[in-house]
Structure 1
Amino acid sequence: MTTVEERTITLDSARSGTGPATWGQRAIWGVVTRLGDDAPRYNLRLDLPLTPPRPAARVLADLAELLRMHDSLHTRLLPAGEDGLEQVVDGSGELAVAVRTCSAQQAPAVGAALMEELAGRPFDHVREWPFRVGLVECEGLVHRLVLAASHTAMDLWGEGRMLRDLALIEAGERAEDLLRSRPALQPLEAAAVQASPLGRRRDEGARRYWCERLAAGPRRIFREPAAPELRVTDPGRLFPNALLRSPALAVAVEQVAADLGVSDAAVLLGAASHQLARMSGSGDVLFQVVVSNRFQPAAAESVSTMAQEAVFLLTDADQDFADAVRRTRSVSFSAFRHAGYDKWALEREVARLVERGEAGDHSYWWNDTRDPGSGPFDTVERPKAPLGELAAHTELSWPTDFLPRTNVSIAVDVLTAPGVLELAMTADPAIITRAGMEQFLRGVEQLIVTAALALGEE
Structure 2
Amino acid sequence: MVERIVVSFEGDGAGVGGLTWGQQQVWRAMVEVDTSMSMGGVVPVTDGRTLPDFVGELRFLMSRYAALRSRLVFDEPWHATSLDVCHLVRQEIVARGETVLEVHDAGPGEDPAAVADAVHAEWKARKFDYTTEWPIREAVVRQDGTITHVVVIICHVATDGSGLGTMLREMGERDPVTKAPLQPYTAMQPLELVAAQRTTQRQTDTAMRYWEAQLRSIRPRRFPPGFGSGSGSGSRWWRVTWRSTALMLAAERVATALGIDTAPVLLAAYGSAFNTVTGQTAPFATQVIVGNRFRPGLADIVSPMAQNGIVVFDVSGDGVTAQEAIGRARRASMNASKHAYYEPEVRLALIDRIGREHSEPFDLSVFYNDRRVGVIQTQDTLETVPSMDEIRSAMPLTGMVSETPVVFFNEKLMVNIDDAVGTAQITVDFDAHHMPLADLRRLLTAMETFTVDAAASLDQAVASM
Place the TM-score, normalised by the shorter chain, in its bin. Answer: 0.7 to 0.9
Distance 2:329 2:269 in 1: 9
Shift in Å, 1:31: 2.0
1:387 to 367, 388, 391: 391
Is residue 2:365 matched to residue 1:363?
A: yes
| Structure 2 match to 1:315 | 314
> 1:373/1:326 Cα in 2 relative to 1: closer, same or farther (>3 Å)?
closer
Q: CA deviation at 1:364?
A: 0.4
C-alpha displacement at 1:73, in angstroms? 1.6
Partner of 2:42: 47
Q: Supply the AA of the counterpart residue of 2:190.
A: P
Q: Is the 8 A contact 2:236 2:433 kept in 1?
A: no
SS, match of residue 177 in structure 1: coil
Q: C-alpha displacement at 1:414, in angstroms?
A: 0.9
Change (3 A) 1:222 1:78: same
Deviation at 1:171, TM superposition (A): 4.7
The CA distance in 2 between the partners of 1:374 and 1:149, in whole Å, is 29
User: Counterpart of 2:450 in 1: which secondary structure?
Assistant: helix
Residue equivalent to 1:35? 33
Deviations 1:271-309 (A, max 9, x none): 101111222222211101010111135311222201100
- Look up the match of 1:379: none
**Residues 127-206 of structure 1: pairs in structure 2 closer than 5 A:** 127-169=132-174, 171=176, 176-179=181-184, 183-196=186-199, 199-206=200-207
Q: How many residues align?
A: 438
CA gap of 1:210–1:56, structure 2 versus 1, over 3 A, is same
Q: Which amino acid aligns with 1:393?
A: L
**How far is 1:261 from its partner?**
2.6
> Compared with structure 1, are the counterparts of its residues 194 and 399 closer, same or farther at alpha carbon in structure 2 (3 Å cutoff)?
same
Q: In the alignment, what sits opposite 1:255?
A: 253
The offset of 1:360, in angstroms, is 4.9
Q: Higher mean Cα deviation, 420-429 or 94-103?
A: 94-103
Listed as ranges, the gaps of 5+ residues in structure 1 are: 376-381
Match of 1:378 in 2: none
Quick one: distance in 2 between partners of 1:331 and 1:204?
Answer: 19
- Give 1:103 deviation, angstroms: 5.4
Deviation string for 1:412-447 (max 9, x for gaps)?
111112333311112211122211111111221232
Distance 1:445 1:185 in 2: 42
Whole-angstrom CA distance in 2 between matches of 1:128 and 1:191: 22
Deviation at 1:97, TM superposition (A): 2.3
Q: What residue number does 1:10 align with?
A: 8
Matches within 5 A, 1:28-427: 28-36=26-34, 39-40=35-36, 42-80=37-75, 83-102=87-106, 106-169=111-174, 171=176, 176-179=181-184, 183-196=186-199, 199-229=200-230, 238-283=236-281, 284-296=283-295, 298-317=297-316, 319-357=320-358, 360-372=362-374, 386-406=390-410, 408-427=411-430
| Letter aligned with residue 91 of structure 2 | Q
Report the structure number with the largest CA radius of gyration. 2
Partner of 2:24: 26
**Counterpart-to-counterpart distance in 1, 2:391 and 2:324:** 23
CA contact (8 A) 1:225 1:430 kept: no
Change in Cα spacing, 1:279 to 1:99, as seen in structure 2 (3 Å) is same
Backbone CA RMSD of aligned residues: 2.8
- What is the CA distance between 1:195 and its match in structure 2? 0.5
Take 1:214 and 1:451, find their aligned partners in 2: how far apart are those partners?
29
Letter in 2 for 1:164: R
In the alignment, which residue of structure 2 is the partner of 1:446?
449
Q: Secondary structure at 2:364's aligned position in 1?
A: coil
TM-superposed CA distance for 1:363, in Å, is 1.3
Distance in 2, matches of 1:293 and 1:99, equals 37
How far did 1:229 drift? 4.9
Structure 1 residue 35 displacement after superposition = 3.0
Q: Relative to structure 1, is the Cα distance of residues 178 and 423 closer, same or farther in structure 2, using a 3 angstrom cutoff?
A: farther
Q: Structure 1 stretch 445-454 or stretch 342-351: which is displaced more?
A: 445-454
Deviates more, 1:361-370 or 1:205-214: 205-214
**TM-score, normalised with respect to structure 1:** 0.87
Query: Aligned residues: percent identity?
Result: 26
Which amino acid in 2 is paired with 1:438? R
**Structure 1's 436 and 239: CA in aligned 2 closer, same or farther, altered over 3 A?**
same
Tell whether the 8 Å contact from 1:242 to 1:437 is kept in structure 2 after alignment: no
